[in-house]
Amino acid sequence: MVAQRFRTASEKEVERDWREFTGGGPVVGILRQYEASDVQGLIWDDESSGHRGLVSWWVDGERAEIVSVHAEPTGGAIGTRLMDAAEDELRRCGVMKVVLATTNDNVRALNFYLKRGYRLVRVHLDAMDAVRRVKPAVPEIGRDGIPLRDMWEVEKDLLRRVA
């Protein structure tokens, strides 16, 4: 039963996820900087296949930020399930607009968000300089050899139904 594969993530699980997949907290977002203790999270865990993923978010009244999302393996629809579940939860909390940031080397993630109703609303030029002041280990070169410099901000209106 699909619903049973979702569970709430504990702070420690969020911390571990960030450590393994983003080099650890804090996460520098659009609305603020986040520690694992600031966010809520949801885990997709399918023990039989070993497929797993985690999405985390922070709510500020009628707006929210998706702080992280990762799926293993990629391309298996776990990311889609996690985003749908997080958005359902945000709607239940009265959130109308959700934002998220992705780095300028993560073209596949941008593709993923744009296909799921998000719109590119801002490019934060040289935002990675500020991220490196908080996390000096962030590399100069990112995925596919792309210089890691900027942040893309995408946004979704949760009240708007998209086809």
Which parts of this chain interact with ligand COA (CB under 6 A)? 69-71, 74-80, 102, 106, 108-109, 111-112, 115
Residue showing the smallest CB distance to ligand COA in the complex: 79
Tokens found for residue 79: 């990311």
Give the shortest CB-92-to-ligand COA separation in angstroms: 22
Pairing of strands 33-34, 51-60: unpaired
Among residues 32 and 94, whose Cβ is nearest to ligand COA?
32
Give the shortest CB-101-to-ligand COA separation in angstroms: 7
Place of tokens 């050899």: 145
Give the shortest CB-48-to-ligand COA separation in angstroms: 17
Place of tokens 């890691």: 148
Among residues 10 and 74, whose Cβ is nearest to ligand COA?
74
With beta carbons less than 8 A apart as the criterion, state whether 71 and 35 touch.
Answer: no
Give the shortest CB-138-to-ligand COA separation in angstroms: 13
Smallest CA-to-CA distance from 6 within 49, 40, 54 is with 54
Tokens found for residue 94: 């009265």
Pairing of strands 40-46, 27-28: unpaired
Among residues 94 and 112, whose Cβ is nearest to ligand COA?
112
Give the shortest CB-102-to-ligand COA separation in angstroms: 4
Among residues 69 and 158, whose Cβ is nearest to ligand COA?
69
Neighbours of 20 (CB within 10 A): 12
Angstrom distance (rounded) from CA 152 to CA 119:
10
Among residues 101 and 158, whose Cβ is nearest to ligand COA?
101
